[in-house]
Amino acid sequence: MAKQRVLSGIQPSGNLTIGNYLGALRQWVAEQDTYECYFCIVDLHAITLPQDPAALRAKTREVAALYVAAGLDPERVTIFVQSHVSAHAELSWLLTCLTPLGWLYRMTQFKDKSAKQQQESVGAGLLNYPTLMAADILLYQAHAVPVGDDQRQHLEFTRDLAQRFNSMFGETFVIPQAMIPKAGARIMGLDNPTAKMSKSETSDYHAIYLLDTPAVVKKKLMRAVTDSYGEIRFSSDEDRAGVNNLLTIYQALTGQTNDEIEAHFAGRGYGDLKKAVVEQVNDRLQPLQDTYNRLMNEAGYLDRILAQGAERAEAVAEKTLQTVRERMGFVARPV
Ligand code: ATP
Ligand code: LTN
């Protein structure tokens, strides 16, 4: 039987964080043999907020190399740059014309990100972001989409849009499911544990980046916000969010249960907890960084992967797009 498909992506909009790793990348690596996988670097999504062209170019390549360094095997999975496959932009337009504005205005990511800008200068791309994301997923007929908790609403949107298309034009798209990890689906900012850790947040002690040196990781974690309870246990209380976040990172990296972790730290202080997290994070990042540096120094390696990835992705995407064009009533280009 053919394998089911998986598709996911990360925006090259900054330095990848341990949140991106624990919420998304790590799951992708774990699923690469179970599914037929497509992982893209979503550069068209990144430009929904202003990007410096040189930085976008550099980050796109950096993210691609980090996919491989984190453990994705480019022979077994398809790694590609979203803008290299023009079907994404085209399907996005077709779906835009079927998307009710009300659905877009309801998206919490749009509300959050647009609130941070001057009302008149909010780009229309930020509003249409979920439709482009739906196009990414639906082009590959993906069954499962491994993402962090913050993407739940966008997945519901994608499912609604796919159902809408199917009922208007006939069964065309697979209805995808979100695949959200048990531990690490929502890592919080170290400096503000009530806000999601995010790569586009620029304050110095907010996020651990995958390419941070061991000394920087240590400095950031030792400064992480905690509380004055002095008790190491998992908790959903807002005023214990900092300690809960450190425990969550520890859990996502060790795979231990809540009970095991609480027993391990019983009677110990926050300093001990922080040191233990520093050790786990650095142990995980070390091999990833070694591979990253090796890949970046190997001339032509990344280009080869991205060329091969775009070719494989395009073949699948064009086939779906062709069906969509026919169903919607576009005249086929005469040969
Ligand atoms: P930006 O700040 O530019 O919006 P981001 O850091 O939120 O970026 P995205 O590129 O939007 O990252 O997300 C890539 C993937 O990483 C998604 O699957 C998302 O759910 C996941 N992710 C992002 N931040 C976290 C986090 N703090 N905890 C868990 N998963 C996360
Ligand atoms: N919106 C996603 C990034 C993204 C994505 C996708 C994730 C763009 N296209 C397709 C899964 C599938 C985010 O994480 N902010």
> Is the residue at 319 inside a domain?
yes
220 CA to centre of ligand 1 in angstroms: 19
Would you say residue 333 lies in a domain?
A: no
Q: Measure the CA–CA gap between 279 and 217, rounded to whole angstroms.
A: 9
Helix (H, G, I), strand (E, B) or coil at 2: coil
Q: What is the dihedral of CA 209, 213, 214, 217, to 10 degrees?
A: -30
Same domain (yes/no): 315, 170: yes
- Could you tell me the distance, in angstroms and rounded to a whole number, from the CA of residue 180 to the centre of ligand 1? 12
Residues 100 and 246 in one domain: no
CB 24 within 8 A of CB 42: no
Each residue's pLDDT tens digit, 210-238: 999 999 999 999 999 999 999 999 999 99
Task: Give 275-296 pLDDT, tens digit per residue.
Answer: 999 999 999 999 999 999 999 9
* Rounded Cα–Cα distance for residues 299 and 297 (Å): 6
Could you give the residue numbers annotated as active site?
113, 196, 199
- Ligand 2 pocket, residue 141 CB under 6 Å: no
pTM for the model: 0.97
Residues 252 and 324 in one domain: no
Q: Whose CA is nearest to atom 5 of ligand 2?
A: 9
- Report the number of distinct structural domains present in the chain: 2
- Whether 238 and 315 map to the same domain: the answer is no
**290 plus 305 within the same structural domain:** no
What residues does 40 pair with on adjacent strands? 9, 80
Which of 198, 248, 253 most suits a substitution to test ligand 1, by most atoms within 8 Å of the C-beta?
198
Domain that holds residue 262: 214-294
105 CA distance to ligand 2 centroid (A)?
18
Q: Do residues 50 and 25 share a domain?
A: yes
**Residues in Cβ contact with 98 at an 8 Å cutoff, skipping those fewer than 6 apart:** 161, 164, 165, 168
Q: What secondary structure letter does DSSP report for 188?
A: B
Residue-level pLDDT at 117:
85
For residue 49, being part of any structural domain is answered with yes
Q: Percent of the chain scored above 90 by pLDDT? A: 96
Q: Per residue in 141-187, pLDDT tens?
A: 999 999 999 999 999 999 999 999 999 999 999 999 999 999 999 99
**Are both 315 and 231 inside the same structural domain?**
no
Do 243 and 163 lie in one domain? The reply is: no
pLDDT of residue 262: 98
The residue-averaged pLDDT of 293-311 equals 96
275, HSE (Cβ side, Cα atoms, 13 Å): 6
Residues 278 and 317 in one domain: no
Q: For residue 198, how far is its CA from the centre of ligand 1 (angstroms)? A: 6
The values of phi and psi at residue 40, to 5°, are: -115, 160
Q: What is the CATH number of the domain that holds 81?
A: 3.40.50.620
Cα end-to-end distance, the chain, whole Å: 36
Nearest protein CA to atom 4 of ligand 2, as residue? 9
The Cα 18–Cα 108 span in angstroms is 22
Q: How many helices, marked H, and strands, marked E, lie in the chain?
A: 14, 5
97: helix, coil or strand?
coil
Q: For residue 136, which atom of ligand 2 is closest to its CA?
A: 10
The residue contributing the CA closest to ligand 1 atom 23 is: 20
Same domain, 322 and 276: no
Q: Indicate whether 82 belongs to any domain.
A: yes
Q: How confident is the model at residue 202 (pLDDT cuts 50, 70, 90)?
A: confident
If asked whether residues 56 and 150 sit together in one domain, one would say yes
Q: Does residue 186 form part of some domain?
A: no
| Ligand closest to the CA atom of residue 178 | 2
Q: Which residues contact 82 (CB under 8 A, 6 or more apart)?
A: 9, 40, 41, 42, 43, 44, 45, 88, 136
Distance 331 CA to ligand 1 centre (A): 39
Instruction: Report the CATH number that the domain containing residue 254 is assigned in CATH.
Output: 1.10.240.10
In a domain? residue 189: no
Q: Are residues 150 and 33 in the same domain?
A: yes
Residue 335 lies in a domain: no
Which ligand 2 atom sits nearest the alpha carbon of residue 132? 9
